[in-house]
Amino acid sequence: MSETDRQPTEEVRQPEPPLPEDSGLTLAEYLAMQQAIGHPTRFRILRTLVANNELSASDLKAAVDVESHNYHYHLDELVDVGLVDKRQRRTADSQGFYTYYRPTAMGRGILEHGVEELMRREQEFNDAYS
């Protein structure tokens, strides 16, 4: 019997909508966050911010050891999707502003309850499927 001759035995079930009707974000926004954290450099940047709560741009760059042109691109991506907040502050002894970055609640959540949770559960998955 060919694949085209096969009669379906039951209807294919559709999944429930992924978001409630009153969701604050769209599915596209959630997927953009997932895509952003999926890059190794952005993942390292976000992990470093979560570990430190807030860092100046120069301290963060030194901590993640990324080329300057790549660093700002990746940092801007995290800010654009809402995983990182950017603020500028003038210190008492400075002539200009300093830029500081910190993870948003969504940034912490996607890191701690998403990617890192999967990493923590790797052994459970290995035990269950080996």
Reply yes or no on whether the pLDDT at 98 is more than 70: yes
Reply yes or no on whether the pLDDT at 42 is more than 70: yes
Q: pTM of the predicted model, to two decimals?
A: 0.77
Model confidence band, residue 111 (pLDDT cutoffs 50, 70, 90): confident
Q: Sheet harboring 55-56: ordered strands across?
A: 55-56, 97-103, 84-90
Q: How confident is the prediction for the chain on average, in pLDDT?
A: 87
Helical pair 40-52 and 57-64, crossing angle rounded to 10 deg:
120
Reply yes or no on whether the pLDDT at 39 is more than 80: yes
pLDDT the model gives residue 56: 92
